[in-house]
Structure 1
Amino acid sequence: MKFQMKKRNTLLTIVGLGALVLNATPGYGQEQNNADLFEMSLEELMNVEIVSASKKSENVFNAPVSSYSITREEIARSGASSIPEALRLCPGVIVRETSNGNYDVHLRGLDNTAQYTRTLEQQNRLTLVMIDNRPVFNYDQGGTFWESLPIDLIDIERIEVVRGAVAPLFGPNAVTGVINIITRTPDQKGPHAVANAQIAPGQTQVANLAVGYGLNEKLHVTLSGNYQKRDRFDDLYYFYQSDTFSSDLSEVPDAALFYPDPSLAQNKYGINAFVNYEANDQVSLDLSAGLQDAESQKVYVSSLTPLGTNGISSKYLNLASRVYGVGTRVSYNTGYSFVDHEGGIEYNFRTADAVVDYRWQLSDRLSVRPEFNYQHIEYDQLNTTSQINTYAGSVQVDYQLLDNWRLMGAGRVDKFDILKDAYFSYQLLSTYKLSEKSLLRFGQSRSTSGAFWTPTSINYSITNDMAFNGPGSGPFYTYNLSGNRNLKLASVTLTELGFRTHLSRNLSLDVDAFRQKLRDMNMFVMTEMTYQPTGYPAPYPAYVPERIQFSFENLPLTATQLGLTVSANYIASAKFQFKPFVTIQRTQVIDIPRGANTLPVDSASNPYNIYNGFDDEHKSTPAVFGGLYANFSPSQKWNINLNGYFFSAHTQFHQYDLERESTVGAISGKVLINSKVAYQVIEPLQVYLNVRNLTGSTSREYYGSDRTSRSVMFGASYNF
């Protein structure tokens, strides 16, 4: 077994907790001294930097798209203990917990638009997640394995979220947006170190450590490590066939194989190395490398219950440079993963990316940025090895037409060697400053998904024995699964109108209205079934399947979403900050398939139900969701934070709901309140009490997932 997590637990815990007593010299860390924040001006607190909105540094107020930046100070003060949980601080992001530390994350929604699907099709395959512009996407069937991120909160400078179709800037899979995690870059000479650890007895252990050295002000080396061990809040499993919750696994075949540790929610670690070199304003070099290992019970793929045991181990190398306007990035990622249980669906993967761009400043008002991309992905899975090569070119034009009127456009062409068609994405943006304090923005864009390995390339066949009279007696049937290289890639077309204003020196408001339309989703579909006579007398059936063919097919459905996001930022002083936000949306879906894996029911022209569709309002995305962030620092030693997240009641579906009525997908409306109180004992040492889910709400947030629980965490951070 490649996942030797239990053997590492004791060592990693000792290292993480022991790091709290490190003696170090001035440096950086996840926690920033309150004294530093007391010295920040209102302008510095109001104007947060973002790069992902236009691929150049600017403050969020001037960004031409719907975007948000969560700073490391906000993350640390909020008490968020993982990267996906920190996204609950961002407007327009839906974050639902499936088991302790495992989350389903969507930008604006559009989740499970086909309704009667498996848990796999309910995952977010439309949002691109990156670390320092390096994609950390899973190209097997799409989506992000959040537990597989090698970094943790201690490594982060900020998290930038761009909502909307931005594939012209970042490539395929940035269909509903991009989440770009920006890591920290030290800027001081000499050694630096920071440690952070917290524990909720019987539930959660988190430890982080970063140490480094600045040879001078230009060259810095950092090594970091992170560890998380989380137990489930629940002891129940939801069983699809019986539509019941039970902790009894005795009737599950090979239960010890499928669920080797029923109490496990997540067990992971990561180790990273960073080298940052900045010769001058025109020349910089960043090198990062690392590895991670994770095992979890989460909602992804499982034949028995929504929760399955999954694991992933990987290594990466990333090199990025900027030399007099020419930017390059080369990365390589390789690893092994299993889904459902080890010995089930296993695969090895290799991914290589290369990007070259040039920032061409034609005048003070006009810049052009051409970019060229190459990506190679390779998977070994189900006795099949296949690869996908992607070639892409894009250009971005940024023109300051007038002092208060900015125009920006981008176009990108992606060619996948396994698909016949090339795919074009575009973005047309405009901002107009009504005054120095108010800005209007408009955007029209279209983005497409990438080509994933399983839907396009899988080729798998297995013969099963129905064993009417014992093993080997037959009759036998063949199960075939094949990819489809004639698939059309999913796309979203977006129209967006936004308004930002500083109502006063310490109060800002951001409003964006959007309409987005989703087309060409694909799904795992039964396409053929032939029958054979059994030759057995009653009560045996006279005919049984002989050959069952499944493949991936495009769905005729379209989903149109209308929505509005409003967020505010009120900073009375460096002592008090309040940031509420809310999103209201409504989605209509046309031609929802009534079932994709059912037997023939109609006629030769409509045999498998995929085109036997109906129209309905989309119910899987909550109609209202949002949150708040409130921080109060009564003195330089004390900090009190209250943050919350909420979503309205909604209904999730599964393919089993076609066979019987169930209420497990009825997700109740929920309000989560979190609080962190921190006290700085001495300048380098801070202790804190961190309470997640303060009211103790136990309602489930996802179809058949674990109940949630209050988590009382005690922690300390040590940062010179």
Structure 2
Amino acid sequence: MPTDNVDNEQINLQAEYDWNLGKVSIRPGVSYQSMSYDDTEYIAEIGNGYLNKERTIDILAGSARVDYRPTDKLRFVAALRAEQYNHPDDIYASWQFVSSYKINDNNIIRAVYSRANQSSFLVNTYSNYTWNVANMPYPRVMQFHGDPNHDLKTMDMIELGYRTRPTKNLLIDIEAFYNVSEGFGALMPTYTDYAIYNPLDVIMGQPAIARPDSINIQYLNLELKSKQLGASISIDWVINEKLVANGHLTIQQTKLDNYQPLNRNDIVGHQAVEAGTNAQIELAAWGQKLVNGEITPGDVPAIIKGTSTSWPATIHNNYEHQSTPSYFGGLSLTYRPIKKLEILPQAYFYGEQVLENQYSTEAIEGKFLLNAKVSYKANSNLTFYINGRNILNMDAREFAFMDEIPGMVLGGLNFKF
């Protein structure tokens, strides 16, 4: 594999101005960012590296934020940002429109519509390396390319929220959200070659020496669309002067359209089979010419190749994506029986999730984790504490491919001087 060492230079310039006009405040701004990456100092020769030259991503942006309060109860906020990239050579706009209405001192409603885009990324734009694969089945050569003109991922979101304080010691915040993301992409195979290395011998009846020869992989935009619908609730409750409770819960469902369930290796395998068939057809054509006397044995090429660019027709719509748990949340209590002593039990939980990747499908069990910390403030400079993490010893993995994490008990002190 090529070296991952690069020299990096960054330039960041930003200017903003606050302009207050009574009920309206405006904040215009401009910014410029330039990020350069160069690996030529760390490779033996050009072609052995990841980038093989200095590569630069430039972003020139202009923005404006308008905050308008026509009445004491009503507020509108609009923010717009336009970014000009050198790669892709295009302008991307992002925005956020927020409105809130204060029904009374204890109830507020809000609505948000926003769009955000992913920034240009080095790997997607400038990948340029050859991987001579070892210790793996054929093909043994993979050529990776970025696409300087790819589309950036964008997400549109709608959010509706309601905040209420039914009593002076209880605050409840509820929101519903829906977002749509498009412009996904990945380094994916554009074509696979299959080679027959002894075509004349095969024509004469000898066994073939044939195998997938090479793969061309490029950053490709996919037709994938993600649609997420969900709701959240958070509660802050001051039970009394010594005890405070906090909690939050989110439920969500994500569905995908134009989802390709096969991974990169599956697509390469599909292309290799079709490319092999094309190579056999080409070989048969040369054999027929030889039998018909149209050519001599010396005219048969040393290598015959077949190529395939096709992908399997296995697109799914309305596919439920489970990499994000369908629910997750947390609870905490802060208890101060005396001024110097604090007891802080905390818990968080989440449902099952399934990570699908090109190597395997990993299921992560749902989990409930309980933590607790007790601290004693001896004086203004010295605090002793004991901290229990994962007290129930729920040691199942929390992320795919990661270690199991058992319970732990920690102790220590904080001293300021």
Relative to the length of structure 1, the TM-score reads 0.48
8 Å CA contact retained: 2:127, 2:144: yes
Q: CA deviation at 1:394?
A: 0.8
8 Å CA contact retained: 1:526, 1:608: no
Q: CA deviation at 1:542?
A: 2.7
SS at 2:69's partner residue?
A: strand
Aligned residues between the structures:
365
Structure 1 residue aligned with 2:10, among 351, 355, 368?
Answer: 351
8 Å CA contact retained: 2:397, 2:404: yes
8 Å CA contact retained: 1:600, 1:607: no
Q: CA deviation at 1:395?
A: 0.6
- In terms of Rg, which structure is larger? 2
Q: CA distance change for structure 1 residues 540 and 503 in 2, over 3 Å: closer, same or farther?
A: farther
8 Å CA contact retained: 1:685, 1:716: yes
Structure 2 distance, partners of 1:580, 1:464, is 50
Is 1:427 matched with 2:90?
no
Residue 227 of structure 1 corresponds to none
Residue 509 of structure 1 corresponds to 172
Residue 528 of structure 1 corresponds to 191
User: Percent identity of the aligned residues?
Assistant: 28
Q: CA distance change for structure 1 residues 427 and 464 in 2, over 3 Å: closer, same or farther?
A: closer
8 Å CA contact retained: 2:263, 2:357: no
Residue 310 of structure 1 corresponds to none
Residue 633 of structure 1 corresponds to 336
SS at 2:217's partner residue?
A: strand
2:224 is aligned with what amino acid? L
Residue 499 of structure 1 corresponds to 162
Structure 2 distance, partners of 1:652, 1:486, is 29
Structure 2 residue aligned with 1:595, among 262, 267, 277?
Answer: 262
SS at 1:655's partner residue?
A: coil
Is 1:450 matched with 2:119?
yes
Show CA shifts across 1:177-200 (max 9, x none): xxxxxxxxxxxxxxxxxxxxxxxx
Extract unaligned runs of 5+ from structure 1: 1-339, 469-474
Residue 679 of structure 1 corresponds to 376
2:188 is aligned with what amino acid? V
Is 1:618 matched with 2:321?
yes
Show CA shifts across 1:213-264 (max 9, x none): xxxxxxxxxxxxxxxxxxxxxxxxxxxxxxxxxxxxxxxxxxxxxxxxxxxx
Q: CA deviation at 1:486?
A: 1.9
Matches for 1:197-212 after TM superposition, within 5 Å: none
Residue 418 of structure 1 corresponds to 87
Residue 481 of structure 1 corresponds to 144
Q: CA distance change for structure 1 residues 563 and 467 in 2, over 3 Å: closer, same or farther?
A: closer
Structure 1 distance, partners of 2:7, 2:314, is 38
8 Å CA contact retained: 1:507, 1:570: yes
Residue 25 of structure 2 corresponds to 367
Structure 2 residue aligned with 1:608, among 293, 311, 335?
Answer: 311
SS at 1:656's partner residue?
A: coil
Residue 395 of structure 2 corresponds to 698
2:14 is aligned with what amino acid? V
8 Å CA contact retained: 1:652, 1:703: yes
Structure 2 distance, partners of 1:444, 1:630, is 34
Structure 1 distance, partners of 2:358, 2:340, is 54
Is 1:668 matched with 2:365?
yes
8 Å CA contact retained: 2:81, 2:95: yes
Residue 565 of structure 1 corresponds to 232
Residue 128 of structure 2 corresponds to 459
Q: CA deviation at 1:635?
A: 0.8
Q: CA deviation at 1:487?
A: 0.8
Residue 181 of structure 2 corresponds to 518
Coordinate RMSD, CA, aligned: 2.7
Matches for 1:190-229 after TM superposition, within 5 Å: none
Q: CA distance change for structure 1 residues 547 and 569 in 2, over 3 Å: closer, same or farther?
A: same
Q: CA distance change for structure 1 residues 630 and 422 in 2, over 3 Å: closer, same or farther?
A: same
SS at 1:608's partner residue?
A: coil
1:532 is aligned with what amino acid? A
8 Å CA contact retained: 1:351, 1:378: yes
SS at 2:356's partner residue?
A: coil
Residue 297 of structure 2 corresponds to none
8 Å CA contact retained: 1:606, 1:612: no
Structure 2 distance, partners of 1:687, 1:630, is 19
Q: CA deviation at 1:479?
A: 2.4
Is 1:542 matched with 2:209?
yes
Structure 1 distance, partners of 2:115, 2:169, is 36
Structure 2 residue aligned with 1:555, among 198, 201, 222?
Answer: 222
Q: CA deviation at 1:614?
A: 1.1
Is 1:650 matched with 2:353?
yes
SS at 1:634's partner residue?
A: strand
8 Å CA contact retained: 2:192, 2:309: no
SS at 1:384's partner residue?
A: coil
Extract unaligned runs of 5+ from structure 2: 40-49, 275-306
Q: CA deviation at 1:600?
A: 5.9
Matches for 1:102-141 after TM superposition, within 5 Å: none
Structure 1 residue aligned with 2:243, among 564, 568, 576?
Answer: 576
Q: CA deviation at 1:544?
A: 2.0
Show CA shifts across 1:55-105 (max 9, x none): xxxxxxxxxxxxxxxxxxxxxxxxxxxxxxxxxxxxxxxxxxxxxxxxxxx
Q: CA distance change for structure 1 residues 702 and 462 in 2, over 3 Å: closer, same or farther?
A: closer
Q: CA distance change for structure 1 residues 511 and 542 in 2, over 3 Å: closer, same or farther?
A: same
Structure 2 distance, partners of 1:540, 1:458, is 39
